Amino acid sequence: MQEKKAEHIRICLEREVESGATGFERFRFIHNALPEIDFRKIDTSTEFLGKKLLAPIMISSMTGGTPEGGRINQNLAKAAQKTKIALALGSQRIAIESPRLASTFKVRKYAKDIVILANIGAVQLNYGFGLKECQRAIKMIGADGIIFHLNPLQEAIQTEGDKNFSKLNGKIKSIAQKLNYPIIVKEVGGGISYQTAKKLNQAGIKIIDVAGWGGTNWAIIEGLRSKNKEIGQIFSNWGIPTMESIIQCKKIKGLQIIASGGIRTGIDIAKAISLGANLAGLAKPFLEPGLKSSKAVEDKINSLIYQLKIAMFCVGARNITQLKKIKLIKVN
């Protein structure tokens, strides 16, 4: 499993693993030439899981379980703390099965008061994991909640993939009823449909991370890993674009939405918020900076926040509440 995680990092850094279009390119804001606001007073702050974030941004789940992954997580945590955004860690299955690797995920000492999210694959609920393992994952890192990631396409292509996804919704519901922490369910690049989000919401899930098609493509990555590049390419166009997934999930009243999957700029973040998301998540853009230093990650975050502020300024939105009310128009 350590080798797999190391390969994921190497492939993401060295190969072209992004594919498709998020759908954001189909929408644009109407420029406001007379915004009537002071740029310096634009407020990008928001609240998530009872904590204030200085921007509606989350560093999405990436890695852990290797020395390199541990170094990346440490840099991500320091930068997230400095800029006061949320941080989701990579799958902790490896640390639950091999406790000696837990240190590669333990970053709370570097990020004392920001939102930190634990993470395990939902499919592991069919492979011996249950409430106890969820509690261990949360306690391990002092998390504010836990992510269950859904990745059927990735597991299907992975040679060593866990492919039994039967009766998972019922098991997620059982955990949601017993776990005294928020649960976020996310995809890893395939998007979440209205029907799936409705089932999860009925099971007690109140936060969905759509993680749609249009960014890092795990079909391509696993195809490269398995040496079956053809199957990765065949399924590289499979999934729901991020924009479409946000729109579908937004139909469910009261559901909080995290938009991820191909989010790359502050304009993307602004569009996601305008379409109905509460936060925007990014992973790959922070991978290379995460290898370098916490300052490199911090610089990337601050650049995204500045871009977001410019977008808000040019549509006349003083704060995130006002940005949510700004309408996008279709360009085709």
Residue pLDDT, tens place only, 105-152? 999 999 999 999 999 999 999 999 999 999 999 999 999 999 999 999
Alpha helices (H) along 186-265:
194-202, 218-225, 229-234, 242-249
3 Cβ contact partners less than 8 Å away, ≥ 6 residues apart: none
pLDDT-based confidence at residue 48 (cuts at 50, 70, 90) = very high
- Amino acid 205: pLDDT: 98
Give the start-to-end residue ranges of the domains of the chain.
Answer: 2-330
pLDDT-based confidence at residue 332 (cuts at 50, 70, 90) = confident
Whether 144 contacts 106, CB under 8 Å: no
**In terms of CATH, what superfamily is 2-330?**
Aldolase class I (3.20.20.70)
- Amino acid 111: pLDDT: 98
User: Which residues on adjacent β-strands are paired with residue 235?
Assistant: none
- Quote the Cα angle for 328-57-209, to 5°: 75
Mean pLDDT of 4-20: 87
- Amino acid 3: pLDDT: 84
- Amino acid 124: pLDDT: 98
- Amino acid 235: pLDDT: 96
- Amino acid 254: pLDDT: 96
- Amino acid 159: pLDDT: 86
Residue 101 has pLDDT above 90, yes or no: yes
Mean pLDDT of 210-223: 94
Q: Which element (helix H / strand E) includes 39? A: none
What average pLDDT is seen over the chain?
96
Helix (H, G, I), strand (E, B) or coil at 124: helix
pLDDT-based confidence at residue 13 (cuts at 50, 70, 90) = confident
Whether 45 contacts 53, CB under 8 Å: yes
- Amino acid 5: pLDDT: 85
- Amino acid 20: pLDDT: 83
Share of the chain above pLDDT 70, in %: 100
How much helix, strand and coil, in percent to the nearest 5, is found in the chain?
Answer: 50, 15, 35
- Amino acid 54: pLDDT: 98
- Amino acid 7: pLDDT: 87
Residue pLDDT, tens place only, 19-39? 889 999 999 999 999 999 999
